[in-house]
């Protein structure tokens, strides 16, 4: 549908403009991978027969990291996605679904109480796609890219991972190391997938991270 493609192209332009100052862990390429994954998962989950659902999935995936608290340079950036949907004349019901997905899909939000039964299939599809891009080979690369951008300690055996955290504790990065982030978040994502397609894809990526960490600790300790 031409109208949809026009909206998507303008959303892509907004992504390019809004995220050009971010490091490579949360840049436009990340967003496009999430969008492609989300559309693929949506098709596997039977949403391809609903143009409305596919539009909600695609726009939520494209707009999900605009105004991310980790990069927001101005509080007004949090309203950019909402303003875009309004300017594009997206029907209010669809716009609200898109914004709800964006606001609730983060790991920190799940820590504050979002539950599976409260979520639409479109939500699960987009969240799973974003989480898949956080694990596996791409996830490892992104984790170290982000840690490096914040001058974070690579690994410190004296700093133990925090396995049970509130939203506020998770957002407190003062004592976090890059390797601990695998234990505090990334290794948990496989079991938090909402869709069957997401769970299936997560298995291989999760195994890759486990093997990577096993080798990392061997090399760190001079045993490999």
Tens-place pLDDT, residues 149-207: 999 999 999 999 987 766 666 666 667 899 999 999 999 999 999 999 999 999 999 99
Confidence category of residue 224, pLDDT binned at 50, 70, 90: confident
Structure-model confidence comparison of residues 3 and 167, the more confident one? 3
Q: Which of 88-102, 105-119, 163-177 has the lowest mean pLDDT?
A: 105-119
Residue 210 CA to residue 103 CA, distance in Å, equals 30
Tokens of 117: 């039964």
The position carrying tokens 């999430």 is 34
Question: Which of 185, 172, 179 has the alpha carbon at shortest distance from 147?
Answer: 179
State the CATH number of the domain containing residue 101: 1.10.3210.50
* Average pLDDT value over all residues in the chain: 90
Structure-model confidence comparison of residues 189 and 117, the more confident one? 189
* pTM for this predicted structure: 0.91
Give the pLDDT confidence score for residue 117 in this predicted structure.
47
Domain that holds residue 184: 2-220
Contact between 146 and 23 under an 8 Å Cβ cutoff? The reply is yes
Contact between 4 and 51 under an 8 Å Cβ cutoff? The reply is yes
Biggest CA–CA distance in the chain, Å, is: 60
Give the total number of structural domains in the chain. Answer: 1
- Percent of the chain beyond pLDDT 70? 88
Structure-model confidence comparison of residues 1 and 75, the more confident one? 75
Phi/psi for 203 (5° steps) reads -55, -50
């Amino acid at each position: 549908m031409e109208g949809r493609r026009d909206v998507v192209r303008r959303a892509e332009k907004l992504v390019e403009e809004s995220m050009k100052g971010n490091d490579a862990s949360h840049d436009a390429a990340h967003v496009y991978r999430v969008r492609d994954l989300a559309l693929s998962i949506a098709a596997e989950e039977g949403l391809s027969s609903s143009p409305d659902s596919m539009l909600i999935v695609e726009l939520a995936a494209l707009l999900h990291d605009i105004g991310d608290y980790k990069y927001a340079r101005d509080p007004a950036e949090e309203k950019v996605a909402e303003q875009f949907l309004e300017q594009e004349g997206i029907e209010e019901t669809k716009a609200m679904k898109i914004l709800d997905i964006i606001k609730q899909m983060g790991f920190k939000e799940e820590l504050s109480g979002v539950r599976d039964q409260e979520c639409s299939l479109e939500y699960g599809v987009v969240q799973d796609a974003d989480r898949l891009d956080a694990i596996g080979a791409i996830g490892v690369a992104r984790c170290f890219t982000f840690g490096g951008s914040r001058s974070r300690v690579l690994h410190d055996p004296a700093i133990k991972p925090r396995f049970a955290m509130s939203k506020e504790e998770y957002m407190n990065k003062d004592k976090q190391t890059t390797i601990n982030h695998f234990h505090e978040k990334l290794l948990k994502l496989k079991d938090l997938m909402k869709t069957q397609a997401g769970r299936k894809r997560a298995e291989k990526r999760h195994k890759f991270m486990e093997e990577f960490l096993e080798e990392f600790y061997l090399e760190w300790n001079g045993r490999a």
